[in-house]
Amino acid sequence: MIIDIHGHYTTAPKALEAWRNRQIAGIENPSAMPAASELHISDDELRESIEANQLRLMRERGLDLTVFSPRASFMAHHIGDFEVSSTWAAICNELCYRVSELFPDSFIPAAMLPQSPGVDVATCIPELVKCVEQYGNVAINLNPDPSGGHWTSPPLSDRYWYPIYEKMVEYDVPAMIHVSTSCNACFHTTGAHYLNADTTAFMQCLTSDLFRDFPTLKFVIPHGGGAVPYHWGRFRGLAQELKKPLLKDHLLNNVFFDTCVYHQPGIDLLTRVIPVDNILFASEMIGAVRGIDPETRHYFDDTKRYVEAAHIEPDARYKIYEGNARRVYPRLDAALKAKGR
Low-confidence ranges of the chain (pLDDT < 50): none
The confidence score (pLDDT) of residue 113 equals: 98
Helical residues (DSSP H) of the chain, grouped into ranges = 14-28, 43-51, 54-61, 72-75, 82-102, 125-133, 162-171, 194-206, 210-213, 232-241, 247-250, 264-273, 303-309, 314-318, 324-328, 330-338
The confidence score (pLDDT) of residue 199 equals: 98
> How far apart are alpha carbons 61 and 7 in whole angstroms?
14
What are the backbone angles phi and psi of residue 7, rounded to the nearest 5°?
A: -125, 140
The confidence score (pLDDT) of residue 32 equals: 92
> How far apart are alpha carbons 136 and 171 in whole angstroms?
11
Number of Cβ within 10 Å of residue 306's Cβ equals 23
The confidence score (pLDDT) of residue 1 equals: 96
Provide the Cα torsion 133, 178, 19, 121; round to 10°: 60
- In degrees, rounded to 5, the angle at the alpha carbon of residue 68 between the alpha carbons of residues 67 and 71 is 140
Element (H, E) at 325: helix 324-328
Strand ranges of the sheet holding 255-258, from the earlier edge strand across to the other edge: 111-112, 140-142, 175-177, 219-221, 255-258, 279-280
The confidence score (pLDDT) of residue 294 equals: 94
Positions marked active-site: 284
DSSP 47: H
